[in-house]
Structure formats: C-alpha cells, structure tokens
Amino acid sequence: MAEKTIKTIGVLTSGGDAPGMNAAIRAVVRRGLSSGLNVKGIYKGYNGLLNEEIVDMSAKDVSDTIERGGTILYTARCSEFRTAEGQQRGAEICRKHGIDGLVVIGGDGSFAGAQKLANLGINTIGVPGTIDLDIACTEYTIGFDTAVNTAMEAIDKVRDTSTSHERCSIIEVMGRNAGYLAMWCGIANGAEDVLIPEKYDYDEQKLINNIIASRKAGKKHHIIINAEGIGHSEAMAKRIEAATGIETRATILGHMQRGGSPTCKDRVYASMLGALAVDLLVAGKNCRVVGYRHGEFVDFDINEALAMKKDVSPYMWEICNSLSHNYDKHAKK
C-alpha cells in the first residue's frame, strides 16, 4: 500500500529540556517549509497536545533561536498521555489539526509516547534530546555536549576553592540513572574519585581510604564527582568529614547543567537530526528514531530503539579510573 503524502507536520519537545532543542526545532520548521510542508508547533509537549496548544510556525518564528538554551516550545511532563485514553485523544487531536506527521524531541519516555501515536496512525519520528546521553541507539543526544562542558567548567571552579581551603569536595552532576556526565567530567576534570550508578559498589570505606592516602601524599584537595543516580552528596560529605577529619563540602550543580547557550556541536548535530526527521517524514517513513552512530546520522525503528540497552564503555570506565590522581595502585606515590 502506498504511503499517504505528508502535508502538515507538528513538532514538540517533551521531558527534560536540553540545550540545542531550539536548533532542532528551527531545523524542523525550516526544513519542513522548504520541503513544501505546513509546520505547526505544539507547546508544552504532550500536555500541550492534549490541551490543543498548537500554532502555525513560520521561518521568522525560529529566527534568532539557535543560540538560546531551553526550548521555545516549552516542555512538561504529562501523566494523562501515559494512558490509552490520553494517547487516543492525542492522535485524534493531531488529525483534527491536520497533523499527519509529528517530530518528537525528547528522551526515551518521550519516544514511548511517540511509539503509541505511531501505532494509532500518526507518522512519528523521534529526535534524541536529553543531557543524560542514555538513549541506547545513538552515540549522541542533544544537550549532552553543552551540559558536560557546563559541569566541567563548574568543577574547575570548585577545585580552585577546594585547593585554597585544603578540602575534600563532592560535586554532584545530573544524569538521572546514567553516569555519562559524571564519567566524562571525571576524565576532563582529573577527579580523584568518580561515582556512577552503573559501577558504584557503595564501599564508602574505600573512598575514605583514598582521601586519607591522598592527604598523606601531600595532596591539597580531593575531588569526588558523584552522579545524580547515587545522590545523597550532603550526607556523604558529613560522613567523610567525620571519618577523615578533613573538611568536606558537597556542591550539587543541579539545573544549571540544563541551561545556557548550546555549544557548536549541539547546534550543528541538533540541526542535522531535526532536518533528517523531516526528510524521513517526507519519504513516508513512520515510527523511527534518528540518531548518530559511527560518524553518520542514521535512523532506527522506534520499537528496536526502545528495546536496546546501554551501558557505559568498560574501556572508558577503566581509563577514567586509571587516570585518577589517587587510584589505589598510585596511593603511595
């Protein structure tokens, strides 16, 4: 059976915001318009879809947005869209507004919603937008590069004051249940210890031993990067200070990692992914997720993408540990 011709597409951002989302929106709008499509923006994710917060978008609407963090379409969580009734109503609203193709920019939770819409007859393409880098089918997600650079710069600053006061500093980065932000910062910032949910054994005594050995070796600071998936940095700092006698402070970087002007990589890659999503819709494709693998911008079946599992690279994790200034085998140096 021949695929129906796409005439109008919609675009929304869902879940947590990520720097570079605006570049993707801009690419969807302008690529769509240049392909002869009508383009509609949907505010506040699936919540806005159900509330019919839908507007026509022109090229001018996305002018001077590529350098802005966050998302000009806003985003929201939507519990109603997790229900079959909400999903059915969302598909009906798409049809009511003439939307026969939809680009969903977000994480795996957003893709699950996109999958449901695709099953209900709305041609849907997912674009990976999350600072967590936790989508298995792609080596790149929109926002990670900006977020990891923001965290790296903040950790450098904390190290300065930690050295001045001869402290131990626990710096908590975001990432939900994934440790990519923490691991990358561990390497980039030269941290003494890195804790990620995929690998942490909760042996706090080992951390304490590292800190004591580091201080005996003349080290003036000790940086521990703690992933959000482990958390409890304030309580950990109190326990470490009580055990070592070394002043220990916790710094939780929080939502500053989500904001800020996107890096060049996030602007360019997001633009490429947004444009590819439109090209797939024009080609009659449905139920796909775009991504980046092995130097190419590619697409996957959304069902296969959601079924994939992702773990941290064992080699990268081993390197992260071996380069730490206070790795066990170097503790006596």
CB 223 within 8 A of CB 186: no
Q: 301, 124 in Cβ contact below 8 A?
A: no
83 is in an annotated binding site: no
Annotated binding residue 299: no
CA-angle at 64, arms to 62 and 68, nearest 5°:
95
Active-site annotation holder among 17, 132, 145, 193: 132
Is 132 annotated in the active site? yes
Question: How far, in Å, CA of 172 to CA of 151, rounded?
Answer: 9
Confirm whether residue 105 is marked as ligand binding. no
Burial (CB count within 10 angstroms: exposed 0-12, middle 13-18, buried 19+), residue 261: middle
**Is 29 within any annotated ligand binding site?**
yes
Nearest to 216 by CA among 331, 325, 330: 331
255 is in an annotated binding site: yes
Is 222 marked as a binding-site residue? no
Asked if residue 243 belongs to a known ligand binding site, the reply is no
The reply to whether 219 sits in an annotated binding site is yes
Ligand-binding site membership of 78 (annotated): yes
Helix (H, G, I), strand (E, B) or coil at 318: helix
159 annotated binding-site participant = yes
Specify the DSSP element, H or E, that contains 299. Answer: strand 296-301
Per DSSP, the three-state class of 113 is helix
Q: Cα 286 to the chain's mean position, in Å?
A: 24
Cα–Cα nearest to 254, from 142, 160, 166, 175: 175
30 marked as part of a ligand binding site: yes
Q: Please check if 183 is assigned to a binding site.
A: no
Residue among 320, 177, 153 at smallest CA distance from 253: 153
Do the annotations mark residue 2 as ligand-binding? no
Nearest to 219 by CA among 168, 150, 180: 168
Known binding residues for ATP: 16, 77-78, 107-110
Known binding residues: 16, 26-30, 77-78, 107-110, 130-132, 159, 167, 174-176, 190-192, 219-221, 228, 249, 255-258
Known binding residues for ADP: 26-30, 159, 190-192, 219-221
Active site residues: 132
